[in-house]
Structure 1
C-alpha cells in the first residue's frame, strides 16, 4: 500500500516511540540529522546522538554536526573511533566501509550497555537499500535498527520533512567520509585523508558547494557539481585551483568532465568485488 508523506511521518514517530530509548549513529548529514531530531522530539532525553570522530571526518563536518544538535538541544556524545588502527580497514579494499561501521557499531554497543539504552539506530532509508553499501551488513550484524527505512522514507521525502520543520540540514549537500575519496587499493592514512580534506576546503572557499577530490596517489581528480562546471572551467578559476591543490602534495590535478557523482570510486569494482564485500 502506498502511503502519503504524512502517514510515513506518523509511522516514523510510532517506530521511534516503540524503541523506548535509542542511541542514534549521527554523522551530521540530512538523513541522520533528521533521525536524531525526530528521535529527540519523540523520546526527549531517552535518546543520544553519537558522532563517530576520527581522521576520516572533516573538521568542518564535525563542527556543523555539533552546531546542529546544540541549536536543537539534542543530547550528543562524540565517540572517538579507531578504524585507522585496523589493517583490514586501512588497506582499503571493497570491504572498507564494513570495517568502519563494524568499529562504530561495536563501540556504540558498548556505550548502549553502559548507558542502559535499549537500541542503536542509524539513518538508512529506502534509497540506500539498493546501493552498494557494505556498512549496512555491519549494521545488521549489530542489530541496529533503521527507523527511516521502516517508515518507507526516501531521501527526497526526508528533505521535504526537514524543510517543513525549518531545519538547516534540509538543503545540506550529500557528504561521505573522507576515506571514500581514496582509490581502492591505496592505503588509507591520516596524511592522505588530510590532503583530501584540505583540497576540498580550497574548493569550498572558491564557492563550490558540492565537490569531491578523489585521491589517486600523485593525481587529484576533482568532481564538481555539473551546474558549476562552466565556472570551474574558466582559466581564471583553474589557475586558482591547480597551484593551491598541488601545494598539498599532488603532482597532477585534473577536473572530471562528468562532474560530481556519488560513489564514483565504486565504478571500478568488479561483480566479484561487490559480492565479496557483502558476504
Structure 2
C-alpha cells in the first residue's frame, strides 16, 4: 500500500526552539499515524530535515515501502531531488541520512506543496514547541519558588535586619520579603547623598511607606575619600566601606543583628569592587545566597503586584564618569539633569556618560531610531548645552550596564 507522508519542521527565532511534525495517511486520506516532537534549539532547515527523516523512519518501521512525501520546504525537496547542491556541513549529514533511508524504500516520490496544504504537520510542530515551553516555564517557576523559600529561610535565621534600601527592584523586593518574614524586626536605611538623584530618594520613601517599615534616611553631604574623588577603578570599594560603616552604626543603635543588601547572583558577572567592602563588613546579600537572578526577582515582584517589577536599573551617578576622571558635585548634577530630561521625554532605560565637555547618551538599541527625528535631536542638544555640555553624542552600541568597565 502506498502512503502519503507529510512532514514539517520549524524554529522560532531561527535558530531557536524547534519542533518537528509528521503525519502518515493512506491514499484515502485516513490518518495512520501522527506525531510532534521538540528537538531543542535548531535552525529551520535542520528542523525540516529532521522531520523528513523521522517521517521516513516511521514509515519504514510500520512496514510501508511505497511512500509519497509532501514537504513545504522547497530547499529540502530540491536537494533530495538533486536540483540543489547541499553546501551547509550540518545539512550534508542529514541529507545523506535521508538518502540512505530512501534507498530502503521500494517506490519513493517527493513533491513540494504550499504551506496551506501542510497545516496538520505545521500544527504538530507548534504544539510540540508550545508544550515544551510550558514545561520549561513550569519547571522554572518551581525553581524560582524554591529560591524564594530559601530566601525566607535565610532571613528568618537572621532574626532582625537592616536593609540597605535604594528603592530599586532588588532592595525593594528584599525589603518586602523581610517584612513578611520578620515583621517589625526590619528597618530600611536609605542614603541621601550627592551620588543619588532626588527622584530615587522620593521613590524609596514611597515604597518604604507602602511596605510599612521604619525608614531611616542617612544624609551624607560629602565623601572626602581620595580614591573616590580621583575615581580609581576600585572607587566603589572605598565608597561602600564608608557608607556601610555608617549604616552599621544605625543598625547597632536599633539593636539590629544583621545588615543586608540587594546584590543578586547576576552581580557576580560584572566588575564589582564594592562587594569586597561588604564582605569585610559582614554585610549579607540574601538574594545572592538564595541564587536569585535579576529576572527571577522581577518575575516574583510582578507576581506580588509590586510596582517596581519593571523599574529600570539606576546605578550611582558616579558610575557615569570614566575612571581616573575626578568626581565633582557639578559633574554629577549635570548627569542627573540630563537623565531626568531624557526620562521626561519617555526614555526609561538610559545613561548619560560624562566625558568632560562631551555627553555620551546610551539608550536601548531599539530606541536609537527615535533620534532620527531632527526635532528631538535639536531639543536634546539645546537642553544638554544649557546643562553645561559643549557636545552631545549618541552611543551607537546602545545602553548596557557597566560600559565604563569595558576598558578594564
TM-score (norm 2): 0.64
Query: 8 Å contact 2:193–2:219 — kept in the other structure?
Result: yes
Q: What residue number does 1:134 align with?
A: 273
* Partner SS state of residue 42, structure 1: helix
Q: CA deviation at 1:175?
A: 1.0
Q: What residue number does 1:161 align with?
A: 300
Aligned positions of 1:237-276 closer than 5 A? 237-269=376-408
* Partner SS state of residue 78, structure 1: strand
Equivalent of residue 144 in structure 1, options 269, 280, 283: 283
Equivalent of residue 72 in structure 1, options 190, 198, 211: 211
* Partner SS state of residue 223, structure 2: helix
Q: Residues 215-242 of structure 1, C-alpha deviation per residue, up to 9 Å, x if partnerless?
A: 0001000001112111123211111100
Q: CA deviation at 1:97?
A: 0.8
Q: CA deviation at 1:106?
A: 0.7
Q: Give distance in 2, aligned partners of 1:168 and 1:42.
A: 20
Kindly report structure 1 stretches of 4+ aligned residues shifted beyond 3 Å: none
Q: CA deviation at 1:83?
A: 5.5
Q: CA deviation at 1:84?
A: 2.3
- Which of the pair has more CA radius of gyration? 2
Q: Give distance in 2, aligned partners of 1:215 and 1:17.
A: 43
Unaligned runs of 5+ in 2: 1-139
Equivalent of residue 197 in structure 2, options 45, 49, 58: 58
Moved more, 105-114 or 243-252: 105-114
Q: Give distance in 1, aligned partners of 2:185 and 2:221.
A: 27
Over 3 Å counting, the alpha-carbon distance change for 1:244 and 1:77 in structure 2 is same
Equivalent of residue 186 in structure 1, options 320, 325, 330: 325
Q: Residues 18-44 of structure 1, C-alpha deviation per residue, up to 9 Å, x if partnerless?
A: 100011111111011101111111111
Q: CA deviation at 1:74?
A: 2.2
Higher relative contact order (CA 8 A, sep 6+): 1
Q: Give distance in 2, aligned partners of 1:221 and 1:91.
A: 21
Q: Give distance in 1, aligned partners of 2:384 and 2:184.
A: 44
Q: Does 1:106 align with 2:245?
A: yes
Q: CA deviation at 1:247?
A: 0.8
* Partner SS state of residue 9, structure 1: helix
Equivalent of residue 41 in structure 1, options 180, 184, 189: 180
Q: Give distance in 2, aligned partners of 1:84 and 1:223.
A: 27
* Partner SS state of residue 393, structure 2: strand
* Partner SS state of residue 172, structure 1: coil
* Partner SS state of residue 351, structure 2: strand
Q: What residue number does 2:349 align with?
A: 210
TM-score (norm 1): 0.93
Q: Residues 91-131 of structure 1, C-alpha deviation per residue, up to 9 Å, x if partnerless?
A: 10101111111112111111122211101101111111121
Over 3 Å counting, the alpha-carbon distance change for 1:63 and 1:114 in structure 2 is same
Q: What residue number does 1:277 align with?
A: none
RMSD between aligned alpha carbons?
1.3
More strand by share: 2
Query: 8 Å contact 1:84–1:188 — kept in the other structure?
Result: no
Q: Does 1:232 align with 2:371?
A: yes
Q: CA deviation at 1:82?
A: 5.1
Q: Give distance in 2, aligned partners of 1:63 and 1:112.
A: 22
